[in-house]
Amino acid sequence: MKTLRFLTSAVSLAAAAAALPAMAQEDAAPMATDTPARNSHFDGPYIQAFGGLSARGNDRGDGLRFDTDGDGRYDNTVNTAGGANAFSPGFCNGRARGATPADGCRSDKDGAEYGVRFGYDKRMGNFVLGGLVEGVKSEAKDATSGFSTTPASYSIQRKLDYGVSGRLRAGYTPGGGALFYVTGGGGMAKIDHQFQTTNEVNSFDPQRNNKMVWGWQAGGGGEIMVARNVSLGLEYLYNRYNDNKYNVEVGPGTAPATNPFLIDSGSTRIKGSDKNFDYHSLRATLGFQF
């Protein structure tokens, strides 16, 4: 269903983009006698507000990784005192609903995103080159869970609290009333994490929570001028942030020394197997050119 919703949104975006040239011609017609004003489109500073959808991928094969010996490499298996894999029930992409796989997992959640940007374009004939700085907030959530033989579940969930990025954009404007562009750049984001477990015996101490991380964006879009200084647009972006530092340290709590998390070194660290937090953005923009 998530893939279907994203494809539907993408088709809608493509259909709207296909209509931009005709709309631009209609918009440009009244300004045919106002060449200086028309040639000033997409040339100079502007501000834009935007809103849309953050769509998460399916992340098939996602799970949890473990560092039981304290070497920082997260390449260990958590074993019972008898040598069996304590996480043999497996993992799921999403947030566990209960202590066992039979309870199921909530799927990753798409969500609204919104923000504002400031930019500057330089128009050279029908070509436009510019840069922008953008702030964004997203409600999309990504989670992964594992199940132990206790039975118990362990879930790590993350979401983008806010992001700040800088991008270049380059485009083509046919006749002045519309702009079609590609864009790309880098930035930082504050990723919020939540850990949840049904294990009431061990202690759990989250490490490096809610830190700023680096990432990049790439995509494209289109804009039309609906008034001399006002534009409407549609945009697609792929976003990826390197989120590989958050982990949870599992301690003794009230568990005995034979507890699977304690056997190797007295504690275990848990992190998600996906090193990146990525999502797709589908946006509508409203801009004012100064």
Q: Which residue would you say has higher pLDDT here, 35 or 193?
A: 193
Q: How confident is the model at residue 210 (pLDDT cuts 50, 70, 90)?
A: confident
Q: pLDDT digits over 44-65, tens only?
A: 999 999 999 999 876 678 899 9
- pLDDT at 37 (0 to 100): 55
Q: What's the chain's average pLDDT?
A: 88
Q: Which domains does the chain have, with CATH numbers?
A: 2-289 (2.40.160.20)
Please, which pLDDT band fits residue 26 given cuts at 50, 70 and 90? very low
pLDDT confidence band for 36 (50 / 70 / 90): low
Query: pLDDT, tens digit, for every residue of 71-121?
Result: 999 999 999 999 999 999 999 999 999 999 999 999 889 999 999 999 999
Q: pTM for the full model?
A: 0.83
* Other beta carbons less than 10 A from residue 54's beta carbon: 25
State how far the Cα of 49 lies from the Cα of 256, in Å rounded to an integer: 56
Report pLDDT digits (tens) over 158-209: 999 999 999 999 999 997 689 999 999 999 999 999 999 999 999 999 988 7
- Continuous segment of H or E residues that includes residue 100: none
In the predicted structure, residue 23 carries a pLDDT above the cut 50: no
DSSP string for 191-253: EEEEEEES--SSEEEEESTT-EEEEEEEEEEEEEESSSSEEEEEEEEEEEEE----EEEEE-T
Q: How many CA atoms lie within 13 A of 247 on its CB side?
A: 21
Distance from C-alpha of 176 to C-alpha of 285, rounded to nearest angstrom: 18
